[in-house]
């Protein structure tokens, strides 16, 4: 489980609750070209996997920089990223305080998804579950609010989707169809959520590629027809079936892994 600290990592970074984390002789110097990213990943893993409690302090900048063999400027770059994710708060005179990651921003999902260079399928499953919930509502709102130009754009995408045989292009067109559906919903929150998911898709395209060029678009066509006819319930029903199909495929891939 993601939040269970591995024995290796626990030996790597030990901490007494609500005290600074002693790291002497325990950190491996990082590559200078990737230093900020590596520092973020080291500390991120430790925080997310339960090696430190909310309210605890990380070591002082000087200590961390020395053990990692990086400049304090480089370290500050990494700490700034962690602060942006709302995983830490840097207080002048008080040190680096660890925050509860459950209060972090949505951007944290990118870091949660890949740990030690591997996809966490449980997190990916959570993403698909969320996609099912808001994707269903997106389709319903699109059927209610879509303008003529929205529908025309979705028709063009569907025609391309039906004729292409390239797996990568199929993936891109399929996602663009649902992004256009979100645009048609006129809900800015759903549009931005779709953009967030697209970033995940683009980074891990291989997980979302169709298993073959024989790509079934019947549910997408049902959604489009429902939007054209203004049938909110049918649009939501077809979207839910489509999202559930994706979740079932993911679970199948996970069981085979």
* Chain segment 123-133, per-residue pLDDT in tens: 888 888 888 88
Q: What is the pLDDT of residue 75?
A: 93
Burial of 167 (0-12, 13-18, 19+ CB in 10 A): middle
Helix axes 121-145, 167-185, angle to 10 degrees: 50
Q: Check if the beta carbon of residue 130 is closer than 8 Å to that of residue 120.
A: no
Residue 214, exposed/middle/buried by CB under 10 A (0-12, 13-18, 19+)? exposed
* Lowest pLDDT segment from 123-137, 187-201, 209-223: 209-223
Domain range list for the chain = 7-105, 121-256
Cα–Cα distance for residue pair 147/153, rounded to 1 Å: 10
pLDDT value at 4 more than 50: no
Please give the CATH topology (third level) of the domain spanning 7-105.
Arc Repressor Mutant, subunit A (1.10.10)
pTM for this model (two decimals): 0.69
What superfamily does domain 121-256 belong to in CATH? GntR ligand-binding domain-like (1.20.120.530)
Distance CA 152, CA 158 (A): 10
């Amino acid at each position: 489980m993601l939040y269970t600290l591995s024995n290796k990592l626990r030996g790597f970074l030990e901490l007494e609750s609500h005290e600074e984390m002693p790291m002497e002789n325990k950190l491996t110097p990082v590559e200078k070209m990737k230093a900020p990213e590596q520092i973020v990943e080291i500390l991120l893993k430790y925080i997310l996997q339960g090696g430190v409690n909310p309210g605890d302090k990380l070591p002082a900048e000087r200590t961390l920089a020395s053990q990692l063999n990086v400049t304090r400027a480089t370290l500050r770059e990494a700490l700034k990223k962690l602060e942006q994710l709302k995983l830490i708060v840097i207080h002048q005179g008080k040190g680096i305080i660890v925050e509860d990651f459950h209060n972090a921003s949505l951007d944290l999902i990118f870091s949660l998804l890949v740990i030690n260079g591997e996809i966490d399928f449980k997190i990916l499953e959570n993403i698909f579950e969320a996609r099912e919930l808001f994707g269903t509502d997106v389709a319903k709102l699109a059927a209610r609010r879509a303008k003529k130009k929205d529908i025309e754009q979705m028709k063009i995408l569907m025609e391309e989707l039906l004729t292409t045989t390239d797996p990568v292009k199929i993936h891109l067109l399929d996602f663009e169809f649902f992004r256009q559906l979100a645009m048609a919903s006129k809900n800015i929150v759903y549009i931005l959520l779709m953009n967030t998911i697209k970033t995940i898709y683009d980074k891990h395209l291989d997980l979302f590629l169709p298993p073959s060029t024989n790509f079934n678009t019947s549910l997408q066509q049902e959604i489009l027809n429902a939007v054209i006819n203004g049938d909110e319930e049918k649009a939501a029903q077809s979207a839910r079936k489509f999202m559930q199909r994706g979740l079932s495929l993911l679970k199948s891939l996970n069981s085979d892994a």
